[in-house]
Amino acid sequence: MEDFQVRQLDRKGYEILELLGTGATSEVFCVSEKKTGFRYACKISRQTGLLELEAELMHCMRHPVYPKEKDFWIGQGYAFLVMEYIEGSSLKEYLEAQGKLCFGETMRIMLALTEGLAYLQEQSPWMVYKDLKPANIMIARTGEVRLLDLGAAGVKSGWRIGTPGYSAPELLRKKDAASCASDVYSLGILMYRMLTGKIPSPGHGGMRNLHRVRMYRWDVPFGIKLILERCVRQKPGERIPDARTLYFLLSDYYEAGCLGLLGLELRAFFHRKWNKQLIFEKNIYKKRS
């Protein structure tokens, strides 16, 4: 860190404790507020416009999955964003230590993420997260799932954003191609990674060996395999359309319990043609709401 950055933080009443991580355009530090002793995360970047957009988004977010913004300013060509500090480990570190997760823990994380992304997609105007990956997901010491780095969501057009392996193919090929289905693709890849410990190989339908989820994981219901297949289709129009629909589909399995799973498995068997099934599901949930 440069001396003038230390001085900027000192003037605002913060003391640097440690470096938390670095990215392509920013660095994140753990800082302490001198007046209260409370810890915060401070993101510093030369991309002042992008970080200002992220600060504005964080200020508007009213969902527990997103950290709260505390302070923002620009000084000497750098932007400083002070936000809630989350004690815990990133999902990337969690997976590197555990290899893969049990079905119940995977579903708990997926439901928290899909609900949080549904909230983002339902804003006016709607937004897409665009860069979902394990490094951007925190598992707090309390067990809560938190989603960091809203920077990509604030980018409107003219940028290619994403992480190969997790981002939808249209985001890596084209500009201005983001949709709610782009986040659904990343959610599908993320769920596969948590269940198997691997990132799937590209192939027909987006996953060449998706059947291995079922082969090696006896605890993964057949319906989850169908949901995965639908999440990672190459064409956005063939995927589950948005995070809210995916949340409803996943919550059926999570809440049903052992006896309920039998009925859900049978329902999945009799609705193999997903176009008909999605219409069926969406009509049900419209009536519920």
113 contacts 190 by C-beta, under 8 angstroms: yes
Helix, strand, coil percentages (3-state) for the chain, rounded to 5, are: 50, 15, 35
- Report residue 64 CA to chain centroid gap: 13
Instruction: Give whole-number Cα distances, 28 to 35, 43, 139, in Å.
Output: 21, 4, 17
> Which of 10, 131, 149, 183 is flagged as catalytic?
131
Tokens 């409107």 sit on residue: 156
Cβ density class 245-278: b for 16+ within 10 Å, e for less: bbbbbbebbeebeeeeeeebeeebeeeeebeebb
Is 252 catalytic? The answer is: no
Alpha helices in the chain (DSSP H): 3-11, 48-60, 91-98, 103-121, 169-173, 180-196, 212-216, 222-231, 243-270, 274-288
Which two structure tokens, joined as six digits, stand for 34? 């001198």
| Closest C-alpha among 76, 58, 177, 198 to residue 128 | 177
Q: Active-site positions?
A: 131
